[in-house]
Structure 1
Amino acid sequence: MDRIDAMRAFITVVSEGSFTHAADRLAMSPQLVSKYVSQLEQHLGVRLLNRTTRRIHLTEAGASYHDKARQILNDIDDTENQLGDLQTEARGLLRISAPVSFAIRHMAPLLSEFQKAHPAVGIDLQLNDRKVDIVEEGFDIALRVGHLRSSSLIAKRIAPARLVICASPSYLEQHGTPQCPEDLRDHRYLRYSYLEQEGGQAMHQWLQSSGRDPSSDLICNNGDVLVEAAIAGAGIALQPTFISGSAIKEGKLQVILPEYEPEPMALYAVYAHRQLLASKVRSFIDFIDGYFGDPPYWD
C-alpha cells in the first residue's frame, strides 16, 4: 500500500461525499478508491468510515485522522510547490567558493548586480585558495583559476586568465632586466605557493634548472601580497593580470620576458550537476558568463 495515495483517497472520499465522485476526481476506479481506504483502515487498525447505501459517515477516529491527514497532504503539496519554484524562480541561499584575490578585486560589483537582478537569492561567499570539495562542503558553485584536470564536476569557462612575469621599474633598474629565462638565476623570485598547480610549471622548471639559490625567495599563498612586494621592489613575480593588471597599467610594474609568457589559464565556474540544476545556480552561471569580457577588462 502506498500510504500517501491511500491517505489522499480517503481525504477525497470525505470531501466528495462518495466513492464514485472521489474516483472521478482522482481519475481511478471506485473499486480502487475503496481498496485504498480499506487498506488504510487495516493499517491503522480502526474504522474511519461508516458506509451506508446512500451516505458515508466519519467515525470519531476517522474525523480525528481526517484533520491530521489533510494537514500532512497540504504540507506535502506546499513542499513540492516550493521545490518547483526553486527550479523556475531564482531564490534561496547560493553558496559560492572563490579565490581570495580574485574575489576581493572583482566580485563585489558582480554580486551586487546579480542580486539586483535576482532579489530572492541570498549569497554566502567564502574565500579560499584551496580546492574545496563542493559536495562535501555544501557549495553550490566554486570559482577556480587554473588548468582544470578532468573530474566528475561540471566546469564552465568564464574568462581567460593571463599570466605575466613582472617586476617594478626600480627593481629592474637596480638589478637589470632579464632577457631570457636563464637570466632569472640572478634575481630574487616572489613565489606563489600554488605555482605548479595554477599554471606556472614552466617558470618553476626554469628556476629549478638555473642553479639559483631559492633560499632568498619570498613565498606566499596570496597573490596580492606578492604583487605589492613586487611593486615595492622585492623581486620578480609571475602573477595573473586580474591581480597585476592595474599596477601594470599604472606603470608600477613592468612586464618582462613576454615571449616566454606561460599558456593562459582560465577562470571556471565549477558545479556538481548539469541536470535538475537549481534555478539560483543556473541564473548565476548565466549571469557570470561573459560578465568580465573576452579579453577581460583587466587586460
Structure 2
Amino acid sequence: MDRFQAMQVFVRVVEAGTFSKAADSLQLPKPTVTRLIQALEAHLETRLLNRTTRRVTVTADGAAYYDRALRLLSELDELESSMSRARRNPKGRLRIDVAAPVAQLLLIPALPDFHARYPDIQIDLGVTDRPVDLIGENVDCVLRAGELTDQSLVARRIGEFHSIVCASPEYLRRHGTPRHPTDLESDRHVVVNHFSHRSGRIFPFQFTDEKGERLEIRGRHVLSVNDASALLAAGLAGLGVIRTSTFMAQMHIGAGHLVPLLLDWCADAVPIYVVYPPNRHLSAKVRVFVDWVADLFARSDLIHRKCSLPKPQPNAAMPAAADNGAVAMSV
C-alpha cells in the first residue's frame, strides 16, 4: 500500500461523501479507491468510515485521523510549494572553490551575469589549488582540472584546458628559439618546471606531433614552482621556457610579452570538472550554479582556443627567429 496515496484518498472520500465522487475527482477507478481505504484501515487496525449504499460517514477514529491527515497534507503541499519557489528563485550562501587563474580570468569576470540571474545567492569563493575536503570544509562545489581520483564525489565534465609552450622575447634573444622539443634538453635552454604541491613530483613537458610521435621532455631548470600563476610570471620574467594554459597566455602573446613555440607539436587536453558531494537531491542554488558554469565553459572561447591565439601587436618586440613553435598541453 502507498500510505501517502491512501491518506490522500481517505481525505478526499471524507470531503466528497461518497467513494464514487472521490474516485471521479481523483481520476481513479472506484475499486482502487475502495481497495486503498480498506488497506489503510487494515494497516491502522481500526474502522475509519461507515459505509451505506447511499453515503459514507466518518467514525470517531476516522474524524481524528482526518484532522491530522489534513494537517499533514497541507504542510506537505506548503513544503513542496516553497521548494518550487526556491527552484525558481534560489537563495542562500554558496561556497565554491577554484584555482586562482580560473577565478581571475574566467569565473569572476562572468559573475555579474550569474548575479543578475540569481540576485539572492551569496557566493563565498575560495581561491586555491590545494585539495579541498568538500564535506569537512562545508564546500558546495569545486572546479578542478585533470582526472579525478576520489570516486565518492560527483563530477560533471564541463570543458577542457589546452596548453602552450612559450617564452619571453628576452629569453629567446639570449638563448635562441628551440626548433624541436629535444632542444629543450640541451645545455642551451632552461625550462621553468611545474611540480605537484602534494607529491613534489615534477611534471615533464609532453609532446605529440601530427604523426602521433610522443615525446616526454625533462629540461634543465633553475626554477620550479607549484602554482600556475607563478609559472606564468616566471615565463614573463625570462626565467625559462614554460608550458602554460592557452587561456592564461593569450593576452600576453597578443601583447608580445610571450612568444608561442613548437606549434607543430601538441599534447592531450586536460579535462575540467565541476565536482560536488554525492546528494540525491541537489539543492537549487548548487544546481543553478553547476548548470550556469557548464554553459559558461561551453561558450568560452578561452577554454576552446588551442593554437588560434591573438597575433602579437605589430609594434611588439619579437625575436626574428621565433616563427616556429608549438602547443603542448599538460596534465
Cα distance in 2 for residues equivalent to 1:234 and 1:201: 20
Cα distance in 2 for residues equivalent to 1:126 and 1:282: 19
Cα distance in 1 for residues equivalent to 2:141 and 2:20: 51
Looking at secondary structure, tell me which structure has more helix per residue. Answer: 1
Q: 1:18 to 1:2 in 2, by over 3 A?
A: same
Per the alignment, residue 289 of structure 1 pairs with 298
Letter in 2 for 1:207: I
* TM-score, normalising length: structure 2: 0.64
Cα distance in 1 for residues equivalent to 2:84 and 2:244: 44
Per the alignment, residue 247 of structure 1 pairs with 252
The one of 202, 218, 243 equivalent to 2:207 is: 202
Note the C-alpha offset of 1:7.
Answer: 0.7
Letter in 2 for 1:165: C
Deviates more, 1:181-190 or 1:117-126: 117-126
Q: Is the 8 A contact 1:146 1:197 kept in 2?
A: no
Deviates more, 1:283-292 or 1:240-249: 283-292
Alignment of 1:97-108 (within 5 A): 98-108=98-108
Letter in 2 for 1:286: D
Cα distance in 2 for residues equivalent to 1:240 and 1:174: 24
Cα distance in 1 for residues equivalent to 2:35 and 2:263: 80
Per the alignment, residue 161 of structure 1 pairs with 162
Q: Is the 8 A contact 1:97 1:141 kept in 2?
A: yes
Cα distance in 1 for residues equivalent to 2:270 and 2:27: 55
Cα distance in 1 for residues equivalent to 2:250 and 2:259: 10
Note the C-alpha offset of 1:13.
Answer: 0.9
Letter in 2 for 1:232: A
Cα distance in 2 for residues equivalent to 1:162 and 1:118: 33
Letter in 2 for 1:192: H
Residue deviations 1:199-240, cap 9 Å, x none?
Answer: 9423995533xxx6x5x5423221101111222333221112
Q: 1:137 to 1:260 in 2, by over 3 A?
A: farther
**Paired positions, count:** 287
Q: Unmatched 5+ residue regions in structure 2? A: 209-213, 311-331
Q: Unmatched 5+ residue regions in structure 1? A: none
Q: Percent identity?
A: 32
Per the alignment, residue 114 of structure 1 pairs with 114
* TM-score, normalising length: structure 1: 0.70
Alignment of 1:32-111 (within 5 A): 32-52=32-52, 55-78=55-78, 89=88, 91=90, 98-111=98-111
The one of 189, 192, 203 equivalent to 1:190 is: 192
Q: Is the 8 A contact 2:13 2:22 kept in 1?
A: yes
SS of the residue 2:11 aligns to: helix
Q: 1:284 to 1:86 in 2, by over 3 A?
A: farther
Cα distance in 1 for residues equivalent to 2:183 and 2:38: 89
Cα distance in 1 for residues equivalent to 2:101 and 2:296: 21
Q: 1:206 to 1:27 in 2, by over 3 A?
A: closer
Per the alignment, residue 28 of structure 2 pairs with 28
